[in-house]
């Protein structure tokens, strides 16, 4: 064995580099800064500072009140000497009042006038407590005016000191945040609206260094040239100069009560100048507590396309849903889900959600159930075209009202899968009618579309057939239950498959935006407004009516695309502006697509008790006339024979352009990444659209 042991390994820590001569001083300085930071960020320490300051203020106010009241030094000394313990009694009685009344719970940097004025009643209580304590202890009584002077001096001093401290803290926060965000990452910003909301917005975002507020804009000529919190109020006519001089690139709208039409014009003018426009929430959102002033958000195209909501007729809203069991088919869709939300809010007894899509059914059920409304909600995974199951559901739950919103509505998708799309819409409506009659429900309303008017596509034609089926069934019932009606309207903002989500996606990817035709127009309505009108139309139905919703003015889709680009703070790239950001490309009308949509077949519509709901007068068929034509259509669908389907559909809906539809939509399907309907091997080969 080797007696020579190897040296043990060295486990000592590695040597640190030698410190420079000024290192201890640097470490000490960092330690002091760390300690000060910890102390400043400790709630207890911060409150101790404030309590100590207020204690000194109480003593200063006490002696100041004597000095103001007595004026002469000898008299002051003699008076104070007669009550040597009174200032300390003021201190001992005053501080507990401030502590237990919650005066130190607020954040000083956010102290507003409301919290500062709250010091006055606290000061009154302090004076009363001191007066009673002094009386009970038998002390000498100062002059009566002393108490008022003491109250005024303490309250005024405390309020002024808090204002100064608040401003110092806010400035410090602004300096700290400006260090974190480089100057070139902040945006020169104007606040449009020099009123109460504009001032509140300024206070709320002072420490947000994304915005470098350079002033206010206001339409009131009497305010031009004046200042608000040291910021100048400008006229909108100076926008060009402000853009040039200050690099202005953002405008915050601080006018929550602005009408939709005025907002549309204002945003259009600002976005034309290349300015990004943001807005505070609406007055309704602020009033019900959903949002706060500082919740700045981009102005969405949906905010501009809609119109001022009309006042609903409450008795019509509640007629078909309040206290009733309501079934909504297609409950997970855009219209179906909003129907469910409003039906729940109107106090239905039970709400049944029917949808074939598991995910959307789960989503709407989860959303509604989280509201804890106390109303029974039953999600039902199923197919609306299953008449037997629908009848069982209606009988089991004693359904009283059905809203039939389940349908295939995407025009190119139905064109590419013609037989499947028509079969779904037709058979679901037939099943709902059968279930409603067999279960003896009270009301059935079909959600229709403006594409059913003189249809040039299979989806619109199939919805027109659904309308004919409802009209014929209502005529057979001759006033008996169920009361059946239809509601026809155009595009709704934000629905799945509409142009607005598509344009948002294309803009986010840098473009281009694709529009089928320069002159194409569409009607638009917000989903909540459309559903509210559907509920009111259902309430006024007596059987067989086809209601039309007033959609307002049509919108040019090319102009819509331009607005959405400019609302994003970007410029349209075209011949006049080749250096713009996003181009608009025109791809040509797709087969079956109209330049404009119509809501009426004839001009003989009638007014109703609601100004935005009309009643159409249109030709219809009896059940005996419809039956053989519908059977022929279903036979063609069963064979997956597209040519026979188109012929049968044309007999049911003569307005349907048969000749064009014989040119099948293979080309359109290829453009949209869709394949023709080849679900069944018997699907015929059809010519490609030119």
**Which residues belong to the active site?**
451
Q: In what order do the strands lie in the sheet with 572-573?
A: 513-515, 582-586, 572-573
Contact predicate 642/683, CB 8 Å: yes
Spatial separation of the C-alpha atoms in residues 35 and 33, rounded to whole Å: 5
Instruction: Find the DSSP H helices in 1-42.
Output: 23-40
Q: Which residues contact 7 (CB under 8 A, 6 or more apart)?
A: none
Contact predicate 585/515, CB 8 Å: yes
Structure tokens at 90: 């003021």
SS3 for 624?
helix
Contact predicate 197/254, CB 8 Å: yes
- For residue 250, give Cα distances in angstroms to 215, 254, 260, 268, 631: 12, 13, 20, 14, 61
Burial level of 383, CB count in 10 A (0-12/13-18/19+)? middle
Q: What are phi and psi of 337, to 5 degrees?
A: -70, -40
In the block, which residue shows the tokens 């064009």? 660
Cα–Cα nearest to 525, from 487, 492, 549: 492
Torsion sign over Cα 242, 243, 249, 251: positive
β-pairing, 211-217 with 513-515? unpaired
Cα–Cα nearest to 152, from 181, 123, 131: 123
β-pairing, 572-573 with 555-556? unpaired
SS3 for 401?
strand
Residue-by-residue DSSP string for 225-240: T-EETTEEEE-GGGHH
Cα–Cα nearest to 213, from 244, 241, 249, 266: 249
Cα–Cα nearest to 280, from 264, 292, 296: 296
Range 164-173 contact pairs with CB under 8 angstroms and sequence separation of 24 or more: 165/108, 166/108, 166/109, 166/110, 166/111, 169/108, 169/109, 170/109, 170/206, 170/207, 173/109, 173/207
Contact predicate 597/490, CB 8 Å: yes
Helix axes of 458-477 and 623-638: crossing angle, nearest 10 degrees: 140
Peptide bond into 512 cis (omega under 30): yes
Instruction: Output DSSP code: residue 311.
Output: P
């Amino acid at each position: 064995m080797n007696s020579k042991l190897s040296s043990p390994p060295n486990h000592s820590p590695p040597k640190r580099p030698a410190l420079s001569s000024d290192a201890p001083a640097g470490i000490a300085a960092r330690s002091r800064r760390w300690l000060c930071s910890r102390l400043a960020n400790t709630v207890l320490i911060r409150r101790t500072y404030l309590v100590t300051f207020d204690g000194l203020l109480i003593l200063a106010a006490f002696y100041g009140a004597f000095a103001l009241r007595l004026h002469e030094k000898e008299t002051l000394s003699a008076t104070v000497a007669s009550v040597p313990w009174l200032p300390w009694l003021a201190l001992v009685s005053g501080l507990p009042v401030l502590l237990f009344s919650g005066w130190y719970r607020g954040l000083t940097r956010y102290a507003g006038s409301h919290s500062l004025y709250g010091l006055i009643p606290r000061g009154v209580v302090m004076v009363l407590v001191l007066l009673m304590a002094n009386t009970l202890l038998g002390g000498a009584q100062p002059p009566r005016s002393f108490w008022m002077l003491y109250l005024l001096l303490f309250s005024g001093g405390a309020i002024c000191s808090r204002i100064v401290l608040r401003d110092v803290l806010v400035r410090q926060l602004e300096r700290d945040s400006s260090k974190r965000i480089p100057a070139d990452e902040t945006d020169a910003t104007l606040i449009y609206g020099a009123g109460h909301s504009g001032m509140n917005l300024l206070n709320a975002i002072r420490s947000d260094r994304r915005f470098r507020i350079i002033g206010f804009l206001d339409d009131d000529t009497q305010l031009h040239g004046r200042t608000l919190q040291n910021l100048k109020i400008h006229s909108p006519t100076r926008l060009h100069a402000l853009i040039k001089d200050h690099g202005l690139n953002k405008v915050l709208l601080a006018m929550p009560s602005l009408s939709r039409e005025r907002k549309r014009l204002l945003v259009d003018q600002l976005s034309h100048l290349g300015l990004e426009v943001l807005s505070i929430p609406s007055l309704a959102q602020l009033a019900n507590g959903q949002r706060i002033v500082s919740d700045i958000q981009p102005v969405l195209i949906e905010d501009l396309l809609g119109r001022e909501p009309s006042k609903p007729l409450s008795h019509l809203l509640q007629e078909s849903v309040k206290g009733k069991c309501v079934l909504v088919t297609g409950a997970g869709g855009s219209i179906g889900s909003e129907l469910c939300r409003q039906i729940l809010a109107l106090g239905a007894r039970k709400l049944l959600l029917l949808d074939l899509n598991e995910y959307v059914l789960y989503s709407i059920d989860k959303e509604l159930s989280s509201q804890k409304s106390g109303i029974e909600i039953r999600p039902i995974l199923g197919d609306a075209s299953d008449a037997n199951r629908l009848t069982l559901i209606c009988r089991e739950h004693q359904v009283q009202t059905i809203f039939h919103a389940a349908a295939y509505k995407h025009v190119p998708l139905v064109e590419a899968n013609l037989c499947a799309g028509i079969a779904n819409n037709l058979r679901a409506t037939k099943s709902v009618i059968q279930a409603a009659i067999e279960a003896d429900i009270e009301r059935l309303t079909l959600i229709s579309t403006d594409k059913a008017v003189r249809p040039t596509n299979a989806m619109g034609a199939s919805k027109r057939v659904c309308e004919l089926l409802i009209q014929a069934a209502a005529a057979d019932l001759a006033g008996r239950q169920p009361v059946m009606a239809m509601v026809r309207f155009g595009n709704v903002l934000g629905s799945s498959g509409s142009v607005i989500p598509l344009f948002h996606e294309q803009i986010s990817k840098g473009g281009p935006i694709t529009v089928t035709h320069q002159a194409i127009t569409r009607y638009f309505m917000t989903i909540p407004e459309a559903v509210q009108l559907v509920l009111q139309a259902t309430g006024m139905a007596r059987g067989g009516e086809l209601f039309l919703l007033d959609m307002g003015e049509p919108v040019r889709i090319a102009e819509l695309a331009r607005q959405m680009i400019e609302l994003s703070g970007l410029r349209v790239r075209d011949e006049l502006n080749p250096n713009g950001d996003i181009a608009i490309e025109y791809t040509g009308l797709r087969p079956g697509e109209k330049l404009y949509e119509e809501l009426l077949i004839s001009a003989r519509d009638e007014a109703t008790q609601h100004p935005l709901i009309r009643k159409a007068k249109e030709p219809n068929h009896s059940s005996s006339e419809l039956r053989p034509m519908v059977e022929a259509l279903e036979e063609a669908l069963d064979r997956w024979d597209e040519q026979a389907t188109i012929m049968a559909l044309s007999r049911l809906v003569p307005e349907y352009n048969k000749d064009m539809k014989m040119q099948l939509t293979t080309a359109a399907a290829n453009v949209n990444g869709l394949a023709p309907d080849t679900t069944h091997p018997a699907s015929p080969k059809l010519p490609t659209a030119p």
